[in-house]
Amino acid sequence: MTPITHIDDLRRLARKRVPRMFYDYADSGSWTESTYRANEADFQAIKFRQRVAINMEGRSTRTTMVGQEVAMPVALAPTGLTGMQHADGEILAARAARKFGVPFTLSTMSICSIEDVAEQAGAGFWFQLYVMRDRAFIERLIARAKAAGCTALVLTLDLQILGQRHKDIKNGLSTPPRPTLANLLDIATKPRWALGMLATRRRQFGNIVGHVSGVEDMGSLSEWTASQFDPTLDWDAVRWIRRLWDGKLILKGILDPEDARLALEVGADALIVSNHGGRQLDGAESSIRALPAIVDAVRDRIEVHLDGGVRSGQDLLRARALGARGCYIGRPFLYGLGALGEAGVTRCLEILHKELDVTMALCGQTRIDRVGRDILLPGSYPGSP
């Protein structure tokens, strides 16, 4: 096998090994995908200041995110259907993250349940929550996260209704895939994936099936999820969840400085500057362009994190320089998972860490906690004079 040296190597291998509907689910955006593309392109427009003749020994990328020590300013983002990129995907990704020393965030819409991940990968991971109309179910879900030892709750605010994702519609996305001729032919060309799925019992949404009355199979599950995402979600609901959850609370989906100030008022510990990876409001600002104004609006009164468009360790450093305490990676670790399972997630993290460390050194920095906007070329980044 050709050496895997950057994230795109993992992406290409995942594309060969994961059925099209699940690869496309991870590697696509909504409508025209303009925001999806901008998330990456706007990172690349930001240039570094190269510095020389500086002692580069003793470098450290270690820092904290919501008080938790991390090997680098990274968390694995909550991604739905992770267990369809590779059998038992959430468990494998959580194990890789734990060993590397970064947080793993489990999605409400995961294939492996909260209890599966806690039992097979250990406690201490983070849990992402979608607000449903069935508030009793939400109360039970939060209680399950507490019982499993989750140390932070990531509340997603930007999915009250689903953005139109053309590829998912055209592929007939379902979990597990429907046995149509097209799907069967596609799966036949992905033997590693198929054998893994045959060997596991985890092929449904593990946090929902068996935990909601009347949801016992794919048909009833699809109907339930379509009706349950709550369009009435507002800041009062966020306050209600804050009262239920006494641990670290992180609010995901902030793109506007006014919403950042409201996140501060409800008592959140951190917010995530995010446009849902370009999968919701197409035409929204890229995450990295939105970041500086939000950092300036909250001024160290709440931790600011970021997701969307991070594809390298250099992107991690750019975001850190512009004020993000840490970044969440979704697609990069999914590429690794689809390509090589747990080993692929580990390889993804190794690549990002190497790129972060080397770039930091070539910018004349030895401590990630000392990095600021002065490492960036003026005029190349959002908010630059």
Tell me which residues are annotated as active site: 276
Tell me whether residue 307 is annotated as binding.
Answer: yes
What b/e string do you get for 121-145 counting C-beta neighbours within 10 Å, with b at 16 or more?
Answer: beebbbbbbbbbebeebbeebbebb
C-alpha to C-alpha distance for 306 and 44, rounded to whole angstroms: 16
SS3 64: strand
Cβ atoms < 10 Å from Cβ of 212: 21
Tell me whether residue 86 is annotated as binding.
Answer: no
Residue owning tokens 């689809």? 338
Tell me whether residue 347 is annotated as binding.
Answer: no
Tell me whether residue 83 is annotated as binding.
Answer: no
Handedness of CA 153, 154, 155, 160 (dihedral sign): negative
Tell me whether residue 274 is annotated as binding.
Answer: yes
- Half-sphere exposure (Cβ direction) of 64: Cα atoms closer than 13 Å: 7
Tell me whether residue 78 is annotated as binding.
Answer: yes
Angstrom distances, CA of residue 127 to CA of 155, 207, 255, 268: 8, 11, 21, 15
- Please tell me what DSSP assigns to residue 165: -
Tell me whether residue 80 is annotated as binding.
Answer: yes
Tell me whether residue 279 is annotated as binding.
Answer: yes
Cα angle 203-204-205, degrees, rounded to a multiple of 5: 135
Tell me whether residue 310 is annotated as binding.
Answer: yes
C-alpha to C-alpha distance for 322 and 333, rounded to whole angstroms: 23
Tell me whether residue 25 is annotated as binding.
Answer: yes
Phi, psi at 365, each rounded to 5°: -115, 145
Tell me whether residue 107 is annotated as binding.
Answer: yes
SS (H, E, C) 259-318: HHHHHHHCCCCEEEECCHHHCCCCCCCCHHHHHHHHHHHHCCCCEEEEECCCCCHHHHHH
Tell me whether residue 214 is annotated as binding.
Answer: no
Tell me whether residue 371 is annotated as binding.
Answer: no
SS3 201: coil
Tell me whether residue 331 is annotated as binding.
Answer: yes
Tell me whether residue 5 is annotated as binding.
Answer: no
Binding residues for glyoxylate: 25, 165, 276, 279
Binding residues: 25, 78-80, 107, 128, 130, 156, 165, 252, 274, 276, 279, 307-311, 330-331
Binding residues for FMN: 78-80, 107, 128, 130, 156, 252, 274, 307-311, 330-331
